[in-house]
Amino acid sequence: MSCVTLLGCGEIATYLDISWPLALHKNTGLKFKHSSMAKTFNALCGKNLRLDIKTSTLIATFKLKESIRYDFVKLKVIIVLFIALIVHTLKCFGFHCHAINYLGRLFNSGWLMADRIATKLFSQYLSNPRSKVILGTLLVNHTNNIKPSPKTNKFFASPKQYFPHMCIVLKTATEAEKGVILLNYSYCFPLFVKLFSIDDVLTRYYIVLEPSWSGYFDKDILCYMNFNQPIFVEAPEPRDYKFISDLRSNLIPVALGANWWIDSRKFTPLADVNRDVDIIMVSAWASYKRHFSVFNTIRKLKEKQIVLKVVLIGYQMEMDLDIDSIQHLARYYDIVDQVECYEALTQEEVNYHFNRSKINLLWSRFEGINRSIIEGMYANVPCILRRAFNYGYNYPYINDSTGAFADESDLEQTILHMLYNGANYSPRQWVLEHMSLEAGIAVLEEVIKKYSRSSNDAWSGGVVRKINALHGTYYWDESDYVKFQKDYEILESFIKQS
């Protein structure tokens, strides 16, 4: 009898959740429907064996759900068409909120034809005046219905907490020209609309959005369509860029992402550090980071008498794992003696461990635009990125100078090749030449200038450098905090009165 058949319905539902390691960590033994079963099983098996059986069951379940979500894309055309029919039916019966939600999930799925069909159906809302009003109302309700959460409590208590790390001034506003402000982290976008008078903000500033997750059919972004002024949206994924462009709305895509704004002073080679680590992963303690898959590869190499040293740097921050879960997983794969785990390090400490490492590995299948790839490159560490990451775009910053793509079929070979040929990579030089702060500013200013010319608005440039970190965005030059003090006072005056 399998482990799953021993479980009650409630336990099965829990285990089918994609965040399996949370259950792994918080529950130290299998749960049985009947206490007699539990006593019998506990008598036969020790705690570690029970936990290992549950771990293997949860990993298998996670792999199954992951495969359903991401694999067999071409076979999902029928599902895509069926969802499109559901959306059309919902719209006909006036269930517009559900229709928009389904469209968002369809677009963001990445399945074959999903983006084209979702964009076409959504465009019908924009082309029909009555539907456009309905859409506008739905987006207003989205912002109005936001409730406090652990992440946003401080903003509800004091909207000034947005400044400067979640909303940063990049260019001062004058009588002759608009200034520029940038919002980062997607969950902050709709709350900014709720707490601030956006129409007043837009009279003085251009707004730039820097989303934190891929898949831009997202009401947190689309709620800015309700305004008459341009909203610039960083969109490094071609699929998301095209979606924003095809809307033909006030949202204007910019071919940039959060990983363009990295501090090359803090992430830099250190001459006196020995590269004694084979692989580093700078990843949140989260199931979507797929530590289990990497551990499986490390174990296979160990079985071939190739013992690699691995450093894991993570953080919890409301994720579904913690450091203890990761360490148990390493024990399960029999590589715990090969793994070092660190948590909540400073950027300087992370840079030190980058300098110890020969390969920087990111093994997620889907997330936002990852900063640690470029942080590692500035420390001159080449990167291995999972093939088909996000929507399968072959990012230009993964190339012969900076790293390689791989998947489960060739990860072992790619790791060994990179370890033996590390001298052939020069990632820091490449990112300095192609993704520097100055290069990012040039891209952003060019898009704003193009819009300004078309609307006969003045624009003379002057966007300052900013850098991204885990908890927000900062100025490259700390004196800019003082330079823009008046702008922050103006923005604070736009806070809505309770």
- Co-location of 419 and 288 in the same domain: yes
21, 47, 70 — which closes off a domain? Answer: 70
* pLDDT (tens digit per residue) in 16-53: 333 333 334 433 333 434 455 455 445 445 556 667 78
- Co-location of 108 and 156 in the same domain: no
Q: Is residue 269 a part of any domain in this protein?
A: no
Q: Report pLDDT for 18.
A: 34
Q: Which pTM was predicted?
A: 0.88
- Co-location of 314 and 369 in the same domain: yes
- pLDDT tops 50 at residue 217: yes
Amino acid letter for position 387 = R
Q: How far apart, in whole angstroms, are the C-alpha atoms of residue 193 and residue 142? A: 10
* pLDDT (tens digit per residue) in 266-310: 999 999 999 999 999 999 999 999 999 999 999 999 999 999 999
What value does the mean pLDDT take over residues 371-375?
97
- Co-location of 314 and 394 in the same domain: yes
pLDDT category at 473 given cuts 50, 70, 90 is: very high
- Co-location of 188 and 324 in the same domain: no
DSSP label at 495?
Answer: B
Higher local confidence (pLDDT), 61 or 174: 174
Q: Report pLDDT for 42.
A: 53
Q: Report pLDDT for 134.
A: 95
Query: What is the distance between the terminal CA atoms of the chain, rounded to a whole angstrom?
Result: 60
Position of tokens 């793994």? Answer: 339
CB 27 within 8 A of CB 17: no
84, 99, 127 — which closes off a domain? Answer: 127
Phi and psi (nearest 5°) for 227?
Answer: -110, 155
- Co-location of 426 and 314 in the same domain: yes
What value does the mean pLDDT take over residues 73-90?
93
28, 54, 70 — which closes off a domain? Answer: 70
- Co-location of 281 and 429 in the same domain: yes
Distance (Å) of CA 389 to CA 237, 318, 370: 11, 23, 11
Distance (Å) of CA 256 to CA 53, 354, 407, 443: 45, 24, 26, 7
Q: Is residue 267 a part of any domain in this protein?
A: no
What value does the mean pLDDT take over residues 43-68?
76
Q: What distance lies between CA 486 and its chain's CA centroid?
A: 33
E-assigned strand segments in 52-173: 167-171
Q: Which two tokens stand for residue 349?
A: 């400490």
- pLDDT tops 60 at residue 15: no
Q: Which long-range contacts (CB under 8 A, 24 or more apart) does 448-451 make?
A: 448/180, 448/206, 448/232, 451/230, 451/252
Strand 277-282, strand 251-254: pairing: unpaired
Q: Is residue 341 a part of any domain in this protein?
A: yes
* pLDDT (tens digit per residue) in 225-234: 999 999 999 9
Q: Is residue 283 a part of any domain in this protein?
A: yes
- Co-location of 155 and 295 in the same domain: no
Range of the domain at 92: 73-127
- Co-location of 66 and 79 in the same domain: no
Omega into 164 within 30° of 0, i.e. cis? Answer: yes
- Co-location of 288 and 426 in the same domain: yes
Q: What distance lies between CA 86 and its chain's CA centroid?
A: 29
Q: Report pLDDT for 392.
A: 94
Residue 335: which CATH number?
Answer: 3.40.50.2000
Which H or E run includes 142?
Answer: helix 129-144
* pLDDT (tens digit per residue) in 311-325: 999 998 778 889 998
Omega into 269 within 30° of 0, i.e. cis? Answer: no
Q: Report pLDDT for 17.
A: 35
Q: Is residue 27 a part of any domain in this protein?
A: yes
Q: Which two tokens stand for residue 497?
A: 């009165």
- Co-location of 199 and 283 in the same domain: no
Q: How far apart, in whole angstroms, are the C-alpha atoms of residue 487 and residue 179? A: 9
Domain count, the chain: 4
pLDDT category at 61 given cuts 50, 70, 90 is: confident
- Co-location of 341 and 474 in the same domain: no
Q: Is residue 347 a part of any domain in this protein?
A: yes
% of the chain with per-residue pLDDT over 90: 81
User: Strand pairing partners for 184?
Assistant: 210
Q: Is residue 23 a part of any domain in this protein?
A: yes
Angle (nearest 5°) at CA 146 between 140 and 151 = 140
- Rounded to the nearest 10 degrees, the angle between the axes of helix 291-303 and helix 411-420 is 70
Q: Is residue 272 a part of any domain in this protein?
A: no
